[in-house]
Structure formats: structure tokens, C-alpha cells
Structure 1
Amino acid sequence: MRNQPRWTLPAAVAAAALAATAAAALPAHAQSAGTPAGDGPATAQAAPAAPAAAPADWPTYLITVRRGLDPGTVARAYGITPVHVYRHALNGFAAPLSPAQVTALQETPLVESVEEDGSASGAGATA
């Protein structure tokens, strides 16, 4: 007979509670993130409705979300369609973002970092 570890049930309960709390917090936070003070619910948005430039012109960013949150859910809460979702090396996603989306993500406690994607090369490096 195999004994299950003692922490299995408490860990599962804690994970479920964290997920429920995060899911409940996302819509309210996403709604207030794009709402200027004094605007009513009709104008509340996670991201601007009319982009200033075509999404193809927006730079791609790597967004790292807080541990325990689902990166896809955070992206959707801000009206973002990720090109990649990461769940192993980091907890986050990559997506082209408007300047307003970058600002909104930088200001939310749900996100740990927002970095513009770039390339790295070992060419020309010296020891």
C-alpha cells in the first residue's frame, strides 16, 4: 500500500484557492486598467479599442506573469493575443503590444516584467 504525501491535499487546496483568487481578480483589474478616472463602465477596456498603428508595426514583448497565474488568462484579460505562451522556462507570453498595453502591463501587480523582444548573438564576443 502506497502512502500519499501529507502535503498533497493542503497543496491542492492552496493551488485551487490561488487560482480562484487570481481568476476573480483579473476581470476587475483588467477593467480598471484601461479606464481613466471618472469614465463609466461603457468605456472600461483592458486595451485601447482603436490602435494607433497596425499590430504588425508593434514591437513584440516578453511578459512574465506572477507565479501561479495562467499567462494565457492574463493576456486575454488585457485583450492580447499571444504569439507564444511559456509555462516552463518562465511563466509568461510573447505578443506584439501597443504602447498603451505596455503601460497597462507594467502597472499591474499581476506582471513581474515587460521586456521588448530582441536578438542575441555570440558573434564578436571576446573572452
Structure 2
Amino acid sequence: MSCLNFSDALRDLCFSQRLSVDEAMDTYFAPGYTHRNSGQAKTRAEFAAMAARAREQIASGEIQVLDEFRDGDRYSERHILDITNEDGGGERAEINLIGRYATDGRFLKINEAGFSREEAQDDAAR
């Protein structure tokens, strides 16, 4: 089984023009892929459409992987996501995800949850 990681998939989907969204989806995500973000499920097609919209809005982005774990077909990653949008706005978030690989080594399922790093820093300062 290959060792794909979600941060590379996100880079190719949203921050790079190296691959089209369809090519990135085919590289990293199995045909039956499902993506759940904070309890809301998206099909592979819905996730691809979301990534295409994000690609149009993002001027630049960086991902810092904090933790990553693989065990057979199971996968986990925790990363910091820094995004600068075309309109000058931005976001810094910590994302935690767990998932499974399909038999071909691409992602079959990802469950994700995260929080704004600015909100966490504001709470800590209080």
C-alpha cells in the first residue's frame, strides 16, 4: 500500500496548479471517497467541488504537519493550516483528521475536525 498523506493531497487540491482538481482527486481519493467535516458528510463529487471553489479563493497556503500515524488501512494526521485568500483575508486553523485507505492506497474516508488557532490563542490569553 502506498503512503499518501492528506497534507500533500490538500496542497495539490487547493494551493498548487501542478494538477487539475480532477487529477488531484484521482491521485489521492478512491471513487467511493467520503469526507466528513465536523459531522457534515460530503461525497467525492461534493468534496471536489468544494476544493475547486477553495482553489479559486486561495492566494497562498501552507501546511505544517504536527503528527501523522498509519496502521494498515488506518490514517491520522494533525496539522496547522495557514491560508491567505485572494481578498487579503486569511485563516490559521489546527485540523485533526482520521481516516481509512482504500485497497489501492488512496483515501477512502476522512473524518475531520478543527479549530481556529486565533480563537485558541484568544482563549488562552483570558
TM-score of the superposed pair, with normalisation by structure 1: 0.27
> Which protein is richer in strand relative to its size?
2
> Which protein is richer in helix relative to its size?
1
Rg bigger for which structure? Answer: 1
